Structure 1
């Protein structure tokens, strides 16, 4: 017995450990999904703020295009006046340019006109060595004619966009579609420093809204161009109120492999001890594989599309730092793990003490067994008693009737079944106070019970207004029925407030069976119900009786 107890406790502890591990894995999975969803939400929020900021910068370019469409191409001073407010409002626009379309025949005239306000102006191109030289002869040129601010952008003045394949591809798309077009990420020179940027182009036509591609090519005057710094736009976007510890890389998925990366921002921990909370700022540099394996959680990497416009498709690839995961982790999985283990440990401890005292309880239970049997017998008897009247209930009646039918069939003795129903019961109850109604029922039940003389006879209450009697070995059911009716009359129970029949009376149906063969208790009960119904059809305070003789002969009496 002791070995069985120890085996049970060991199995209980093992089951607890196994369940706790399963729960730990399950809640850890839920925790991972929650962190992934929160991370994706943070990245999506930052992406939306970035694209809204980009659209604001595009609107600035549209404003400049509309001005040139409406008022014509200005001179250098006019272009500077148009762009000053735009550049002041959008510092991430590093240059605004006017790029005319110039045929080979008009090249000399354009260079001569430009020299009036900018001596030494020449249409140039860049050779393989990186040096700027005068552009070679070609059918059409797309030189930078105006640029603002001039300071820092001197190197691009006169540069022919048609001399660079990636820039020329964007020029052709803008010319033929009439819509905003973007170049792939390019290395742009400003203040003798090479930086990553995006060139945006909007065409300006001689005639408003040319319909076909041929019309657009024929009526093209040039392009309004803007050089954007997407990284600066992202960092200055209104939605970026707090730098969270995850790295961001903006990728142009349609660009060649060498020009895919628009920018890469890596979070750097602030060294200033402002507060106990860790704060970060973004640094513009590439995320190395070594840094990913050491400080980041690449399993949570998330890619979100932010822009599909101007012939480009940009996506943000975000990778959270381990610190981001730690900030968003909760202790729930481990609380569950230790909670389940603690529960089963307590259960095992309780089981041990229960087993220790089990033998003592077993002896006590054996002693109480006999007492419980006695209580059960008492409860069984109580379950056969009607609580209001104290006489037998319907269950006791059904058992008694079934037993009496079996005895009568076996001993071939007569049997009487009587059904009594209070006349006009619903009206009587509605007119009686509750205490008077209950008292009347108890008095009626007691009087009916006293009318039955023999111990084997039984009176029962079936429901609110019906009583029934079973009289084994009795051959005068009609006489018994009349005595029961008389007993109800003898009580003289009445409610003087009732307008009709104020006295409580009963209708009685009785059947006497001498040959019980082939008759079930249920059939006998239904036959008695039919006799009760006949009595009620004759009016109040009536008796309907029937005697079933041998050879299925019957005698009926109604009074």
Structure 2
């Protein structure tokens, strides 16, 4: 806990340091915006735009803000105005050579700008630029700057471009463009109609210089940091990285993002990474000593508890053994109360309980319920003739046959009396087929029984399927089953008889055994 508290305190201090750096960077960016707004207000007031008043005004801004590499004035020229604009610039002597609206080709050579609906040529510039290479350069020749200029043109608000390497005309700096629209009529600033734009003020800002000016005097020298442009979450762009140590922490303190910096449509995020030195200067030995002393006390207590537990364990083992033996005895007793000891099938008591449950389920679901009664013919005579042991073996064989026949999850076979078995058959279509199969299966056993027809053991099967809910009671189901069994005995040829009870009651008798 002490270690976690100490880590939390370091985390808060790191977050504070990174946030302070982010706020310093935000102040530096806003200062640049304010300086650019000062120039904008000058031209919004209606001052004449020419090289004589543009250079002195912007040079002061460049001096006060070293991250500004240059400030340009950009005109707006529609395609149908291009020829007149070029002629006008040549008449005013914009450059020492022939003037044209140009752009860079794939080899970074100036060529006449391709045909576009709208051009954004540079008219004035101040700063570290080669003026001859800048004047007439179309800022709309690249997709990024063209989109930013059109956004500012349509909205009338300042727009910043993503950071990139600005080549040739801007001195090959790693920076971004800050675009400020200038209106012909200052009263329309912020209005919906921005068609009367006078032009744009464009500041070329060096990202590295901007970050160094803002952060180097604020952030702790034990923190590495990275500045990311997170305007587009799907394309996060690293703008600047500062590493004072290559080693990084591996724990949860390895990354601390500051609050986002918002300006001119961009969102920047400053992320700080603590170095090993930063952590070592703020960590103490108190958590370690506390851990060692606490571990010693803990081990002593564990030893004493172990001694007590070992004594209790021997007593618990004896209790568990007796509990286990009692559970096994209860399980055997419960099994004896539910099952028939000879066949392993459910006994009569369990049959009556299950029959009541199936009747309630059939009434609730409005389904049919079938009951089958199987009786071994002359079992008492078989016991007298072959002995009780043989009779028990015969009962087990017939029980196994019935159990193998009725394998559906809902089927239940029980031993009802000494010579009778009953089976509950819920939702069984064609249940009479099971009665016929039961007689045939016992016949296939070919158990010898002299004095009986065909000299073998036979069974009689009576069954009923009840779909009339008024007739669906335990007593009636069993009574109908007994009636079916009586008719099966009377029809000695087939050995089985099945009944269907519905509204009206229909009696379906077997045709072929």
TM-score range, shorter chain: 0.5 to 0.7
Q: Taking structure 1 as reference, are residues 207 and 192 closer, same or farther at Cα in structure 2, changes over 3 Å only?
A: closer
Corresponding residue SS for 1:333: helix
Task: Provide the rounded CA distance (Å) in 1 between the counterparts of 2:132 and 2:95.
Answer: 11
Matched, 1:299 2:276: no
Q: How does 1:198-277 map to 2 (within 5 A)?
A: 198-210=176-188, 215-216=193-194, 218-237=195-214, 240-241=217-218, 243-255=220-232, 260-267=237-244
Q: Is the Cα–Cα contact under 8 Å of residues 72 and 123 in structure 2 kept in the other structure?
A: yes
Deviates more, 1:162-171 or 1:294-303: 294-303
Matched, 1:327 2:281: yes
Task: Provide the rounded CA distance (Å) in 2 between the counterparts of 1:172 and 1:102.
Answer: 12
Q: Taking structure 1 as reference, are residues 332 and 111 closer, same or farther at Cα in structure 2, changes over 3 Å only?
A: farther
Task: Provide the rounded CA distance (Å) in 1 between the counterparts of 2:299 and 2:163.
Answer: 63
* Residue deviations 1:415-472 (CA, integer Å, cap 9, x gap): xxxxxxxxxxxxxxxxxxxxxxxxxxxxxxxxxxxxxxxxxxxxxxxxxxxxxxxxxx
Task: Provide the rounded CA distance (Å) in 1 between the counterparts of 2:183 and 2:22.
Answer: 34
Q: Taking structure 1 as reference, are residues 329 and 128 closer, same or farther at Cα in structure 2, changes over 3 Å only?
A: same
CA RMSD for the aligned pairs? 2.9
Task: Provide the rounded CA distance (Å) in 2 between the counterparts of 1:32 and 1:107.
Answer: 64
Q: Taking structure 1 as reference, are residues 104 and 73 closer, same or farther at Cα in structure 2, changes over 3 Å only?
A: farther
Which of 60, 64, 75 is matched with 1:100 structurally? 75
* Residue deviations 1:465-505 (CA, integer Å, cap 9, x gap): xxxxxxxxxxxxxxxxxxxxxxxxxxxxxxxxxxxxxxxxx
Task: Provide the rounded CA distance (Å) in 2 between the counterparts of 1:258 and 1:195.
Answer: 21
- Following superposition, the deviation at residue 127 of structure 1 comes to 2.8
Which of 41, 52, 57 is matched with 1:66 structurally? 41
Task: Provide the rounded CA distance (Å) in 1 between the counterparts of 2:294 and 2:110.
Answer: 74
Corresponding residue SS for 2:200: strand
Partner of 2:469: none
- Following superposition, the deviation at residue 330 of structure 1 comes to 1.7
Q: Is the Cα–Cα contact under 8 Å of residues 225 and 272 in structure 2 kept in the other structure?
A: yes
- Following superposition, the deviation at residue 146 of structure 1 comes to 0.9
Task: Provide the rounded CA distance (Å) in 1 between the counterparts of 2:107 and 2:53.
Answer: 36
Q: How does 1:33-432 map to 2 (within 5 A)?
A: 33-115=8-90, 116-120=93-97, 121-149=99-127, 151-152=129-130, 155-189=133-167, 194-210=172-188, 215-216=193-194, 218-237=195-214, 240-241=217-218, 243-255=220-232, 260-267=237-244, 291=246, 294-297=247-250, 299-300=252-253, 301-340=255-294
Task: Provide the rounded CA distance (Å) in 2 between the counterparts of 1:110 and 1:259.
Answer: 39
Q: Taking structure 1 as reference, are residues 44 and 154 closer, same or farther at Cα in structure 2, changes over 3 Å only?
A: farther
* Residue deviations 1:515-552 (CA, integer Å, cap 9, x gap): xxxxxxxxxxxxxxxxxxxxxxxxxxxxxxxxxxxxxx
- Following superposition, the deviation at residue 261 of structure 1 comes to 2.0
Task: Return the index of the structure with the highest Cα Rg.
Answer: 1
- Following superposition, the deviation at residue 263 of structure 1 comes to 1.7
Q: Is the Cα–Cα contact under 8 Å of residues 122 and 134 in structure 1 kept in the other structure?
A: yes
Corresponding residue SS for 2:214: coil
- Following superposition, the deviation at residue 29 of structure 1 comes to 1.8
Task: Provide the rounded CA distance (Å) in 1 between the counterparts of 2:13 and 2:6.
Answer: 11
- Following superposition, the deviation at residue 139 of structure 1 comes to 2.4
- Following superposition, the deviation at residue 50 of structure 1 comes to 1.1
Task: Provide the rounded CA distance (Å) in 1 between the counterparts of 2:7 and 2:128.
Answer: 52
Q: Taking structure 1 as reference, are residues 208 and 96 closer, same or farther at Cα in structure 2, changes over 3 Å only?
A: same
- Following superposition, the deviation at residue 82 of structure 1 comes to 0.8
Task: Provide the rounded CA distance (Å) in 2 between the counterparts of 1:58 and 1:212.
Answer: 17
Unaligned runs of 5+ in 1: 1-25, 269-290, 349-559
Q: Taking structure 1 as reference, are residues 258 and 186 closer, same or farther at Cα in structure 2, changes over 3 Å only?
A: farther
Q: Taking structure 1 as reference, are residues 298 and 160 closer, same or farther at Cα in structure 2, changes over 3 Å only?
A: farther
Q: Taking structure 1 as reference, are residues 65 and 193 closer, same or farther at Cα in structure 2, changes over 3 Å only?
A: closer
Task: Provide the rounded CA distance (Å) in 1 between the counterparts of 2:106 and 2:169.
Answer: 21
TM-score, structure 2 length as denominator? Answer: 0.53
Task: Provide the rounded CA distance (Å) in 1 between the counterparts of 2:192 and 2:101.
Answer: 26
Paired residues in the alignment total: 298
TM-score, structure 1 length as denominator? Answer: 0.49
